[in-house]
Homo-oligomer: A and B are copies of this chain.
Amino acid sequence: MPIITQKFGGTSVADAEKIRQAAARVIETMKNGYQVVVVASARGKQTDQLIADALELNPNPPKREMDQLLSTGEQQTVSLFAMALDAMGCDAISFTGGQIRLMTDSAHTQAKIKSIDAERIHKQLDQGKIVIVAGFQGIDEYGNITTLGRGGSDTSAVALAAALGAEQCEIYTDVDGIYTTDPRIFKDAVKLGQISYDEMLEMASLGAGVMHIRAVGFGKKYDVKIHVRNSAKEIEGTVITHEVPQMEGVVVSGATIQKEMAKIGLVGVANVPGNAAKVFARLAKAKVVVNDIIQTEISPEKANLSFMVGISDSTAAKEAVEEIKDELGRDDIFIREDIAEISVVGVGMRTHYGVAERMFGALAEANINIDSITTSEIRISCVVDKDQAEKALEAVCVAFELDKPPGERAKAD
């Protein structure tokens, strides 16, 4: 019998009524001829409450204990979920990460999955049971409870689907799927029927919040079909899958906007070997995550170096750079927090010309100045003034017809 894993996030299991709704969907799937493995997150605001409880006792709680604490949220949900299924006449059994031997490394609060004991789950499924697994958690080789970090339940669900050879991994959430862009900003955004792992990875890393990047990466690695769906509706969502030939016909699948960021610039850094390494070593020490590094020579001896950081890291980044300013021989350091980044993403860029031109043209026509540009193989990003960001996104969306499903757009070159 084919297997489906279904992941329900915190809002989809927030209270008894929501759990019953989720359970009803699981039962329906089973009736359609599937063995079902459910992966559930902590209910609603439970995790936030536990974090608050911890911080009240210790502003810097040991990570091992944090994992021991937070993992209870998911454990509560799965046992309650199993009880709901039992009340609805279904045989169900819940498991913690440890109970299915979801083994991870020992990197508490951001552990990486090493293996899963699929046998214990298969055995229960073959007895006709629905299996409910606590997301977000595993154990290390010493039996310590670990957690997988942000988006960890998505990762658990995809990893389980891979380990069990599931037909697909359904991620239930409170939106209908993946949109061409954020519908709260560009109201004509349309839902995508499918998207490739690579596109989703770019969009996830650019802050399109639906799926976590690690889960998508796992899906790509093990070729797990991921179906992002709305838990409150009976409609198809977006399938994240490996690249198929027809995807290449679509130049741009989606556009993203990132506003919570800052740009740090070092003007006139002495252009000698090792200077860039010094900067980023110091930033890594300060645990600042850096994106979009740009270096350009301004004279034979000097270069400008800039990079982007999350806005919450901007002070730490500035301080880190200030500390080593004399070693770099630079002229000036600046920080800009009044910026935003607009990106377009699409595997079709690999085979189509004129994408950059179309994007820059749209921004020019809307009279928006581009501060800087970075690109990857399937992405083009432009930094613009923050107060023009939404206008910029809209201009780009219109230019790439992101208000239409890919099939209905004008043919690209």
Contact = CB atoms under 8 A, between A and B. Distances in A.
**Residue of A59, A68, A78 with highest tally of chain B CB at under 10 A:** A68
Nearest to A101: B143
Interface stretch (A79-87, A308-316, A400-408): A79-87
B84 A57 contact: yes
Nearest to A68: B79
Contacts of A96: 68, 145
A136 to B, nearest CB: 14
Interface of A: 16, 19-20, 50, 53-54, 56-59, 61-62, 64-66, 68-69, 71-72, 75-76, 78-80, 82-84, 86-87, 93-94, 96, 98-99, 143-145
A285 B87 CA distance: 24
B64 A93 contact: yes
A83 B99 contact: no
A57 B94 contact: no
A247 to B, nearest CB: 43
A61 B80 CA distance: 9
Contacts of A54: 79-80, 83
Specify how many copies of this chain sit in the oligomer: 2
B57 A19 contact: yes
A80 B93 contact: no
B86 A80 contact: no
Given A65-B82, A65-B83, 19 more contacts: A19-B57, A50-B76, A53-B76, A53-B80, A57-B83, A58-B83, A58-B86, A58-B87, A61-B87, A62-B83, A64-B93, A65-B79, A65-B80, A65-B86, A68-B78, A69-B83, A71-B75, A99-B143, A99-B144
Nearest to A20: B57
Contacts of A83: 54, 57-58, 61-62, 65-66, 69
A65 B71 CA distance: 16
Given A19-B57, A57-B20, A64-B93, A76 B87 contact: no
A94 B78 contact: no
A69 to B, nearest CB: 4
Given A87-B57, A98-B98, A69 B80 contact: yes
A-B pairs with lowest CB-CB distance, top 6:
A72-B72, A69-B79, A68-B79, A58-B87, A58-B83, A61-B83
Contacts of A144: 99
A96 B66 CA distance: 14
B50 A16 contact: no
Contacts of A72: 72, 75-76
Contacts of A76: 50, 53, 69, 72
Contacts of A59: 87
**Residue of A64, A65, A66, A78 with highest tally of chain B CB at under 10 A:** A65
23 contacts: A20-B57, A53-B76, A54-B83, A57-B87, A58-B83, A58-B87, A59-B87, A61-B87, A64-B93, A65-B79, A65-B80, A65-B82, A65-B83, A65-B94, A66-B79, A68-B75, A68-B79, A68-B82, A68-B94, A68-B96, A69-B76, A69-B83, A72-B75
A62 B16 CA distance: 16
Nearest to A59: B87
Nearest to A74: B72
A131 to B, nearest CB: 13
Nearest to A56: B16
A116 to B, nearest CB: 14
A84 B57 CA distance: 5
Nearest to A144: B99
A84 B58 contact: yes
**Residue of A16, A57, A66, A144 with highest tally of chain B CB at under 10 A:** A57
A365 to B, nearest CB: 56
A223 to B, nearest CB: 30
Nearest to A67: B79
